Each structure stands twice: as structure tokens, then as C-alpha cells.
A = this chain, B = another copy of it.
């Protein structure tokens, strides 16, 4: 008999297994956002308390020589703040860090990692509030971030038919940067433009200000950590609706178009390249101009429809798009 492994289940099979097992009978009137969104949220007094948890593992999420420890520390915090931003109006408050560290790791590495963590905590006025350090055979950075907000959260579930789908800035740079690192390694003689793409991968920033500015107009919101394609899938599936997406409207950076000119490859980076950490949201058409005025970088790339499947168009012509991004297992 062949033993069924996690590899054959895949990430979403695995999450399905966990979700199913945990469908709970516990009734707690303080829970505002349950498992399955960017953050969990419960109410305490007048406060909405948000919790998110992310784990970065060496050789799975990063290679230790492709990113400096300082950048790695910054990124570990930014990606969690991005999850808080994806709930709308949240102030990040406390982070907890679990560090798994091989015994042979240099003190210098740890010092610079901590410097990076500290830099980003200070930027957002977050307090490092606890955590633990354990021996491991790969570097593991497990971050739990807590945020507090006064307004009701914007979930992934609220999109209405006719709502516009907006994004905060360009897509594809981070995925392209990672592609370059895989292809040429770290000691290649990169051009300035190529280095900008690698930086986009190594030094993301959470769109917290943007979320705080526009949250009250939005019907749904998430951050594109696993790529735009997956974010669009989540937003439409969670509201049991669909969408038409205009691929040619998805913003790309000049850097990306300078380094790559193959149309197919560009679309792959834009849709499947992960870790751009842009906000992906829906907004009623009547509010779309206000939102664009508040954050001028915003672009509307499509519209929520009553259809049964997400449709991608390129200059009006429907395209067959299949997921070809990173498989976690």
C-alpha cells in the first residue's frame, strides 16, 4: 500500500484537513474574524484585537546568502504587518519572535538579524514583547504580531457584484527578483535595474498607511503575499462571486519591463510571482474615485461579477490562465 503523504495532499489539501478538523462548536460572541482571513480578530472592550502568525524557514522561504540578515529581520516583520494592514484600520502593537537557530550560526548573523527586526519594529512603533530561541538545523523565524484597531475589520468576504477591484501598486517585481536569484545566484554582475527587482523581493514594505487611509470605503481586502492570482481567487471565492480581470491594466514597474520583454513571462511574474505585498481590495464604484484620490498609486484592474468562474481578459480577449505559481508541498 502506498502511504499518502503531505506532498500528495498539497498545501490547500492540508489546510482543508486542518480547517475541517477544527470547525468548532465553541460559541464566542467576541470573535469578529475567524480562521481563514489574513488575521484573526476578537473584541475586548472597545478594541478590536488582531493576531497574525507567519513562519519563515531557511531554504524554503529564503536562502541565507540571497538576503542579508539585516534585510531578513526587516522582512520578517514587514510581512506580518502586511497581514495586519490587510484587515483595514489596525495599529501594530506587539510582536513575538520564535527563533530557530543552528548552533554554527555566527553571532554576527544574529546581531544583524536582530538589528533588522529592531529597525522595522521602531518604524511602526511596535514593541518586541516576547518569544523564544531554540536550536534548529535551519534558521526559522516564527513571528506573531498583535495589532489593535477601533473600527470594524474589512474581511475578505464582503465583495458585491459591480464592485471594482483595486490594487495599491505594481506587481511582478518581487517574483522577477527571485527568478534572477534562482537563475544567476548572488555573485552575478547584476545591472542596477536587476538589483532593483532583487531589492523588491528582499525589502518589501507593508501597505499599512494605504490601508488606514482607505479602509472605510472597502467591501473586501487582502494582501497579495502568495501572488495576485491567489488573492483574486480568495476574494471572489469568499464572497461566492466571480470577477472579470483586465490583465493589461495590472500595473507593472518600468524596471520589470526593462529587464524582461517576453509578454508571457511578464504576465507570469505579475499573476504568479508572490510576495509583492500589495493590497488587493474591492470598492463600490461610487467610492472608487475617493479611494483613488486618497492613494493615487491605486489602479482598478477588474470588476466583481455574478459569474461562476474568474475570467481573465487581455485587451478584450478572454485568456485561459492556469495556476503555475509556487507549490508549497
What residues of chain A have their CB less than 8 Å away from a CB belonging to chain B? 3-9, 11, 14-15, 17-18, 21-22, 24, 26, 28, 31, 34-35, 39-40, 42, 44-47, 49, 51-55, 57, 59-61, 93-94, 96-108, 110-111, 114-115, 118, 121, 125-138, 140, 142, 144, 146, 148, 328-329
Contact = CB atoms under 8 A, between A and B. Distances in A.
A139 to B, nearest CB: 10
Contacts of A35: 128-131
Which 7 pairs between the two chains have the least Cβ-Cβ distance? A45-B45, A44-B44, A7-B103, A4-B107, A22-B128, A40-B129, A55-B98
Contacts of A9: 107, 110
Main secondary structure of the interface of A (DSSP, over half): mixed
Copies of this chain present in the complex amount to 2
A130 to B, nearest CB: 4
A110 B53 contact: no
A96 B51 contact: yes
A103 B5 contact: yes
A40 B96 contact: yes
Nearest to A9: B107
Given A5-B103, A24-B127, A101-B6, A136 B53 contact: no
A104 B26 contact: no
A106 B57 contact: no
A142 B26 CA distance: 23
A17 B49 contact: no
Contacts of A106: 3-6
A111 B17 contact: yes
A63 to B, nearest CB: 14
B96 A129 contact: no
